[in-house]
Amino acid sequence: MLVDQQARPPFVAEYGLSLLLETEEWRGVFDAGQSPQTLRRNSELVGIGNKSLDFAVISHEHMDHVGGLSALKQLLKDDAPVYMPAGVNWRLLKSAEDLGLNVKRLMTGTRAAKAAFITSQQYGPPYEQSLIINLDGNRAVSLLGCSHPGPSRMVSKVLYDLSLTPYAVVGGLHLAWATPDKVRLEAEALKMLGVKVIVPLHCSGDPVKLESSRLGMKVLQASVGDKVVLPLDL
């Protein structure tokens, strides 16, 4: 985790989301947090060097996910793509292009790297896309920014677009302010889709953690500075 509200010292906490993703073949980043200072500082602490990331995926246009974009320029390799949903507002597009980022607006699902698939955008509002990492040809991880279109609706793409099981869900579930009924329905839907592990961050809220545990899903608490290795060795 690079940016979130919970951080282990000396990492900096901030309301926003940014996740570093690492496989044997590539390194990428999902969202850019609220401020370039926090993204830069936490990236240094994790040891990400300049020009070391292969791609960035931006889930949606809200400031707590794009505010740190200017810090990405140094971290990304030359001309590395920055994927945004086609529906993002023109001001964000222009400011990203003015920073010299190689922005790619996505209308449909696209492969970002080996075993990394960006979903087509769904409408919340705003337009939001998620990233799916294929772990082993059967199980996948669904990475969510804020889940404005609804977490289960976003995670269902793993099953319906890629025919994979959404083994793990990591990121913002946007249920912190939801009614108890809504939280229960979303948790039950995730369970029905086959989710085994949830790493609730950012705007997820505590009720979904309790509800997911009650339904038998494994809930992992993670802070900035923590590393989660998937699949879990259960």
Closest distance of CB 34 from Zn ion, Å: 9
- 21 exposed, middle or buried (CB, 10 Å; 0-12, 13-18, 19+)? buried
For residues 8 and 2, is the Cβ–Cβ distance under 8 A? no
Measure the CA–CA gap between 220 and 213, rounded to whole angstroms.
Answer: 10
Measured from the CB atom, the residue of 40 and 62 that comes closer to Zn ion is: 62
Q: Which is nearer to Zn ion, 58 or 80 (CB)?
A: 58
Measured between alpha carbons, how far is residue 61 from residues 91, 120, 128 in Å? 10, 15, 8
Comparing CA positions, the residue from 34, 30, 44, 26 lying closest to residue 68 is 34
Q: Whole-number minimum distance, CB 146 to Zn ion, in Å?
A: 3
Give the whole-angstrom CA distance, residue 4 versus residue 14.
Answer: 5
Closest by Cα among 176, 177, 178, 188 to 216: 188
Binding mask 9-28 toward Zn ion (x if CB under 5 A, else -) reads --------------------
Q: How far apart are CA 115 and CA 121, in angstroms?
A: 19
Q: Which is nearer to Zn ion, 92 or 164 (CB)?
A: 92
Place of tokens 């492969």: 111
Q: How many CB atoms lie within 10 A of CB 205?
A: 17
User: Which residues within the stretch 48-77 sit at the binding site for Zn ion (CB under 5 A)?
Assistant: 62, 64
* Subset of residues 134 to 163 that bind Zn ion, contact rule: CB under 5 A: 146
Q: How near is the Cβ of 59 to Zn ion at its closest, in Å?
A: 8
Distance of closest approach, residue 201 Cβ to Zn ion, in angstroms: 10
Nearer to Zn ion, 121 or 139 (CB): 121
d(Cα 140, Cα 180) in Å, to the nearest integer?
A: 28
Shortest distance, position 114 Cβ to Zn ion, whole Å: 28
Count, residues near Zn ion per rule CB under 5 A: 3
Q: Residue 54 or 171: which CB sits closer to Zn ion?
A: 171
Min dist CB 208 to Zn ion, Å, is 15
- State which residue, 3 or 141, has the beta carbon closest to Zn ion: 3
| Binding residues vs Zn ion (CB under 5 A) | 62, 64, 146
